[in-house]
Structure formats: C-alpha cells, structure tokens
Amino acid sequence: MLPPRSTDALTKTSPNRVVAIAGNPNAGKTSLFNALTGAARHVGNYPGVTVELKEGRAREARTPFTVVDLPGCYGLTAYSQEERVARDFLLCHRPDVIIDVVDASNLERNLYLTVQLLELKLPVIIALNMVDAAEKRGMGIDHESLTRLLGVPVVPTVATRGTGIPELTATCEAVLDGSIRINPIAVRYGHPVDELVVELAGALQPLSRMDPPMPAEWIAVKLLENDPAVWKRLKDFGDAALIHQAETAQRTLENHCNRDGASILAERRHGIATGAARQCVTRQRSEQRELTDRIDDVVCHRVFGPALLVGVVAALFFWVFKLSDEWAWIPWPGEWKSPTGIIETCFTGVEWLIRPIEGPFPMLHSLLHAALVRGVGGVLSFVPLIFFMFLFIAFLEDTGYIARVAFILDRLLRVFGLQGKSMLAMLIAGGIGAGGCAVLAVMATRTLREEKDRIVTMLVAPFMNCGAKLPVYAMLIAAFFPYRRTEMMLLLWGLSWVFALCAAWLLRRTVVRGEQTPFVMELPPYHLPTARGVLMHTWERTWAYIRKAGTIILAVNIVLWAFMYFPRPSDANATPEEQLRYSMAGRVGTLLESVSDLAGFDWRTNVALIGGFAAKEVIIGAMATAYAMVDTPEAGKDETEVAISLSGRLAADPAWNPLRAFALMLFIMLYAPCMSTIAVMRRESGGWRWPLFSLGFSTAMAFLVAVGTYQAGLALGL
Amino acid sequence: MSALTLYDLDRGEWARVRAVRGGGHGIRRRLLDMGITTGTEIRVERHAPLGDPMEIVVKDYRLALRLEEARHIEVERIAPPTVN
C-alpha cells in the first residue's frame, strides 16, 4: 500500500511533475512507458505484466517529468490487487497528468476505463495506441471526434515503433506548463443517477476534503455502486445522517432500476464507452476469420492442442540444456566451450588468482574461496541455463501462447485447486524440465487476480526444480545412478509436479479452504514478438537472478563460512573434517543427527542442508567442505571438479547408497524455499504469515517424504 | 424451466446478455468490468480441449471463462449480426 501523499507534499518533495500511465492490461502501456523513458522494461503479451509501479524520466522532454507506469486494469473497482494499486496511486498521489493508453483495435472496452479516469477529474491524455493493428483489422478511428466527445487530447501512437511519442511528450509538457487546458466532459450517467449524484455530492463536501482529498461526485458515484473501500471511508467519517442519506440514495437507485448499484453504474459507463466508440470508429469487417482465430483452431484443438503443448515443453527441455550446457558452441581460445563452461573457466581463474594468499593468510583465503568461488561462482554458473529458459518463456509469453496454455490446462489444474494462470508461475519456477527460480515465480503470481489461488500457487511453486537444486541432483546422480541420468532427471521433474499438485490439493482442503474463485482471462491476439522486447524481458529476469548472487548469496556464504570455520579446534593438525565437526555448524548438524537419521542423513548432510535454508546453491559447496574435498592447493579444482570429486567420494563411501541419495534429493526438492523466496513471499502476500507457513509446511513435507522413502526402501531391502 | 445461460450455448452461436445473476459480488463485478452487461452481444468461440473453460468474443476481444461463471450469465440466442 502506498503512503498517502497530498498535493502540497508532492510539490514540495519533488519539483518534478508526475505523469501516470494507466490502461487496460495488454493495451501497450509498458511499450509506451519504454518509449517515453527509454527504460528497459519488459513488454509481455500476457494480461497483467506490469505488476508494480515503475518510475522513469521522460527523455525527450525539455523539462523532464517523472513517468509512473501503473498496473494494467480493466476498471477502478479495486477488485484485484492491480486495480487497488492503480486506484490508490491515482487517489493518493493525484498525478499531474494521466496518460490513458487505449488499444485502438479494442476501443469500446478500453474506453470503459477512460470513463472511470475522467470521473477522477484529473487531466487525462489519451494515447490511442496500436493504431496500425486497428487499421489492419479494417478499422478507421477518427481521433478528432474522440477528442470532441470526451474533451481530452487524443494522440495516435504505435508505441512499439515509437510513432507518436514526440507528439505525446509535447502534449504532456503543454498540459504540465499550462499552455493547454484540458476540459474533460463531466460524465453523465442519465436519469436517475445524475440527480442522485448531484444531491449526494453536495452533502459529501466535508468528506471529500479529508486526506486524501477526492472529488465529492466521485465519492457519490462509488457509494451508489456499493464500493466497499469508499463505504468504509464514509463509515469511518462517522456522520450518521450522511450515512443514512447515502443508504437512502442507493436504495432509491436500486429500486428504480430494479438491479444492484454496481450493475447499473457499469452498464451506464459501458453505454458511454460504446456510444463514443461507435461515433468515431468506421470499419469494414472482412468475412475472413482473423489470423488469431485460425491459429487458435490448431492451438486450442482437442487433439492438436495438447499434442503441441507437449511438443513445446519437450523442445524447451531439449534446447535449454543443449544451448546452455551440453553443446560447446562458443569459440574460445584454443577450443569451443559452452556458456556454462566459460563461466566455470572464469571462476577457475579467480581461484587461481587467490591461491597465492593461502599460505600467508589461510583464513582470508578460506573465506574468499567459500564466498566468491563457491558461492557467487556456483550461482553464476547457472546464469546461461536461466537465461535460455527465460528466453524461451519470454518468447512464448510475448506471442500470446502462455495465455493459451493457461486456457488449455485450467480444467486440469483446477482439480488440484490451482488454475490456468498458475501455470506461468510454475513454469518460471522450473516446471518445464528444470532450472527456474522460485523468487521470480512468486513475483509472477501477481497475474493471478484471485487471492486464494495466488497463495496456493505461491506455496507450491517452490517445489519445482529451480536452477539451484540441479547441481546437487547432478552430483548425486553421477555418484549413484551414473547410467540413468536422463531417467532420473525426468523422474525428479515428474515427482516435483506430483508433489506440487498434491500439496495444492491438500492446502485447498485445509489452510486455504474456500470456494474456487472465478477464472476470467483475456486471450490476447497473437503477435510476433520483437527481438528487443524478448531480450529485454529475458535480461530483466536474468539480472534479478544475478543480483541475488551478488547480494544475498554472497552474504549468506560469508555467514555460513563463519559458522563452519569457528570455533577452531586447538589441535593444529586436525583434518578439515575434524575442524568442521568442531565448528558451530558441525555441532548443530551432529545434534540434529538423531532426527535426520530417520531419513538417512548424517551430520555432514545436515550442515549442508542448514546452509540450503539460505540458498540451495550453498548445499553443494557445504557438502564438499564437509566431506573434506576442498582446497587442495595443487589440484586447482573448479566447481564442476569439486562436484565430480565429491560424487566420487560419496560413491566410495560405504555409508552412502542410492537409497540415501534418492531420499536426499527428494528432501532438497521439497524443503524450505530459499531466503530470497521467503523475502519475496512476505512482500507479495503482505505479511509473515504465508512465508512462515511455507517454511514449516515445506520442511515438514520434505521430511515426511524423505523418511517415508528411506524407511520404505530399507524395509524393501534396498 | 430455468433460463438459458451462456453455459448452454454451442460453438459459433450468438447471444445477447439479459442479466448477470447470482455468484458473489466479486464475480459479478469482474464480469461487468470485462464488458458483460445487459444487452452485450457475445459469440461463443470455442471450448478448451477438456471442455472447460470456454472462449467467447465480446466487444471485439477474446475472453476465457469457466462454465461455472457462464452459468451466471443469462442470455437469449440471436442471429449473427450482419456486417455493416
């Protein structure tokens, strides 16, 4: 929730004027924001991509102004989180200008929001966007008559190509410096609404001056349509006579029209929008079905649709791994390397650089090695995988295919208490093959307007195999299932879905009980994404991942290193293993052995798993340390070699066997989401309740599954 | 006999909305915001491979909604509008 800011405070704190961009999801708001500010922001062809307020500076303007990109919304009823954010911003911050981005090829529905923006009595400029697409559909729009009808400037734009942006900037400036005065029409709803609004607005003057100030007419309209937030404001104001008057007015309206207030006002607004659209749109509609419909005949076909979906997922699985890791396709001095290989080589270089300090400063070397090479390097070696995965997802998202995936799978996911739109979050978390990120998945749940579906998706998405779990799987598989690599990866992928769906089912019947919420989703027309757009989007997500490596994972690795380094045993000849056991982490790990024994984990594994609470990336390095496979100066090992030698060590260790390795993999798949995920969950769910629940629930589930598997395996004599 | 709802329509059929009934406040609000109000004309485009949700065309755009929600939308069948 944004802190309220009065108009005075705004002028004092920022000398710059604020221009807010509002509009329907998919109307091209983000493209317009990028074009105005030159910012690298993602544009998706998936309803609801703008999930938080993004600020930028208009770059073409003579006197720069701040541009704020509001979340896309269909109305201002504050029904979904996005609408609440947009509405709160408009009400509390009262921007100096609102740019209303209107999809020209979908004028009628888009103008419904415009009407609601006009109600706010703020200066509105309409950016009539995607005029090219409208023309392609055989629609001609007379923007001058739109100006006349609504009393606001209308600027035709094609934001993706930058068409109309200088004109839009100039219009904004003209409005900001007062050379153009906007006189938007007063919205008229017809009899008897208008009369009731006027009457009520007169009485509401004192309430409208309360902080944040709102137009009295707007409050009156919202009261008539039964807006809970505005009713609360009235009740908090505590004027019994006023409350009575509002209630009477609302009853009068509902009795007169024989329908509820919300329906009446929505109908009247749609009436205004439709009327305006009809007066300025000329069209020659062709008899031919549109391209999108013809594509959908295949994509949503009963047989071809699901087949195509499987094909797409399989292709993704294949290409992401080939391009990032398996194929050496980038030229490198003397050889060809894979992108992952290059990063690993770089960190081998870092290791080599810090080696000289090991003699004089063993402690510093140990710290640098743990934090930089193993910590940051371990994370960065997954950047290529993450990059290619997000590249494919961004491409599919921008074409509009992901919305169809949601459409096709909704029925299936509903059985488990999820819904079609949960799919995007699950995919980003690593639902296709492996190698996603739960942090980004939790952020992606914002496109779910339905609170309960959103919470459940947020809680189960971390079960997917994120990029950080992969190296641990790879190491254990190499040690215990060397000839079953693909099969094991597929099994772990399948199991992650089974556990996620079962957990969703369980949660829906216990903690997040309640009716299933409506699923209403726009299916955007297909379009060919621009390379720039897809790359920007991919980069933005990849960068979020990289940043995590530089901040939280680095910090955690340092803390963890301290826990594993101190206190030191007095015996200088102690082996690394003895030193670790003597340390803080070793003691806790040993303490937990009595419980973890049920799942077959010894104290060394416990130490690694404790580290994994912070970030799963930490596990492999911690295990390497625990199994004394580190820092032999003459060996010059990089991450992969550590993993390989570690897996060799485990394979040879009589205490380890495939069953124990499998139980450990299941535990790692399911237990507590990493600290970054928890932090994002707190932010996204607005409190500590769900992140803490997630910690407990996931860990309990992981423990039960691991113990169950291990004990069942023992009973079967494996 | 209960009223005809969007749920009862087949692919390719046209209808005009008579009323949005029942359901919680949230669902009605949502449908209203998406442009499904009394008098709106709707075409049923298709059903998802598993039969649910359905895709409709309303005010020139495509909307997916579940059959459960479609039951709340009372309609009357109309002939396909002629192109002007």
CA dist A208 and A358 (Å) reads 70
pLDDT at B84 over 50: no
User: How many C-beta atoms surround the C-beta of residue A309 within 10 A?
Assistant: 17
DSSP SS3 for A126 = strand
Q: Is A89 near chain B, with CB under 8 Å?
A: no
Decide if A178 contacts A128 (C-beta within 8 A): no
CB neighbour list of residue A15: distance below 8 Å, 6 or more residues apart: none
Exposure of A456 in the CB half-sphere (CA atoms within 13 A): 32
The tokens for A227 are 């807006």
CA dist A216 and A196 (Å) reads 12
**Residue recorded with tokens 């309960």:** A452
CA dist A452 and A457 (Å) reads 9
> Which whole number is the average pLDDT over B25-30?
79
CB neighbour list of residue A21: distance below 8 Å, 6 or more residues apart: A29, A32, A33, A36, A67, A68, A69, A70, A98, A99, A101
pLDDT digits (tens, 9 = 90+) for A236-252: 988 899 999 999 999 99
pLDDT at B1 over 80: no
Cross-strand partners of B19:
B74
| CA end-to-end span of chain A | 55
Which has more pLDDT, A286 or B44? B44
The tokens for B40 are 């709106």
Which residue numbers in chain A have pLDDT < 50? Answer: 1-14, 46, 48-50, 629-637
Closest CB from B40, B55, B60 relative to A523: B55
pLDDT for the residue A217: 93
Among B60, B63, B74, which would you mutate to test the A interface (most chain A Cβ atoms within 10 Å of its Cβ)?
B60
Decide if A464 contacts A437 (C-beta within 8 A): no
Q: What is the pTM of this model?
A: 0.84
pLDDT for the residue A433: 64
Q: SS3 letters for B30-68?
A: HHHHCCCCCCCEEEEEEECCCCCCEEEEECCEEEEECHH
Q: Which residues 17-76 of B have a C-beta within 8 angstroms of A?
A: 19-20, 23-35, 37-40, 45-46, 48-53, 55, 59-66, 68-69
* Residue A587 amino acid letter: R
Cross-strand partners of A19:
A67, A97
CB neighbour list of residue A545: distance below 8 Å, 6 or more residues apart: A379, A382, A383, A386, A437, A439, A440, A467
The tokens for A287 are 């008899």
Q: Is A278 near chain B, with CB under 8 Å?
A: no
CA dist A368 and A278 (Å) reads 68
User: How many C-beta atoms surround the C-beta of residue A436 within 10 A?
Assistant: 32
- For residue A184, cis peptide bond before it (omega within 30 degrees of 0): no
In chain B, what residues touch A414 (CB-CB under 8 Å)?
Answer: 66
CB neighbour list of residue A148: distance below 8 Å, 6 or more residues apart: none
How far is residue A590 from each of residues A23, A94, A558, A597, A604, measured CA to CA in Å? 57, 59, 21, 10, 8
Q: Strand order in A520-523's β-sheet?
A: A520-523, B61-65, B54-58, B41-47, B14-20, B73-78
Q: Is B82 near chain A, with CB under 8 Å?
A: no
pLDDT for the residue A672: 92
pLDDT for the residue A45: 52
Q: Is A420 near chain B, with CB under 8 Å?
A: yes
DSSP SS3 for A180 = coil
Q: Is A484 near chain B, with CB under 8 Å?
A: no
CA dist A233 and A167 (Å) reads 40
Q: What angle do CA A607, A386, A376 make, to 5 degrees?
A: 45
Q: Which residues 258-277 of A have a C-beta within 8 angstroms of B?
A: 259-260, 262-263, 266-267, 270
The tokens for A585 are 């982490």
DSSP SS3 for A56 = strand
- Say what the alpha-carbon torsion angle A74, A78, A83, A89 is, to the nearest 10 degrees: 130
pLDDT for the residue A635: 43
Phi, psi of B14 (to 5 degrees): -110, 150
Decide if A612 contacts A664 (C-beta within 8 A): no
Phi, psi of A94 (to 5 degrees): 35, 75
A521, B37: Cβ pair inside 8 Å? no
The tokens for A136 are 């392609």
A263, B38: Cβ pair inside 8 Å? yes
* Residue A158 amino acid letter: V
DSSP labels, A321-374: HIIIII---EEETTEEE-HHHHHHHHHHHHHHHHGGGTTT-HHHHHHHIIIIII
Q: What share of chain A is helix, strand, coil (3-state, %, to 5)?
A: 65, 5, 30
Give the confidence band of B82 by pLDDT, cuts at 50, 70, 90. low
CA dist A627 and A613 (Å) reads 19
The tokens for A342 are 């290059």
pLDDT for the residue A39: 66
